[in-house]
Amino acid sequence: RPIIKRALEGGINFFDTANSYSDGSSEEIVGRALRDFARREDVVVATKVFHRVGDLPEGLSRAQILRSIDDSLRRLGMDYVDILQIHRWDYNTPIEEIY
């Protein structure tokens, strides 16, 4: 939290995390700190999907992406993220289903 606060004070406004960093607790920590130290509209938040977290298997099926983003938003305590990235390619899901 002190690092995030210091970053905001230094003018940094882009924060990147992922559902799999520390099994989701990274999103919780980043989200809580940003709620405490910044206005949501003043920061850009990115997260990623793919890796297994909790009971959610890894992958990029439509269902997995939707569940991942819902879980990430809950952990972040936010209504939206600005950038959603795939953490890595999923060879088991057709590209038409991902995009």
Residues designated as active site = 21
Residues 20 and 38: their CA atoms lie apart, in Å, by 24
Q: What is the 3-state secondary structure (H, E, C) of 53-73?
A: ECCECCCCCHHHHHHHHHHHH
> Which residue is listed with tokens 């289903």?
97
- DSSP letters for 33-50: HHHHHS-GGG-EEEEEE-
Residues 7 and 11: their CA atoms lie apart, in Å, by 6
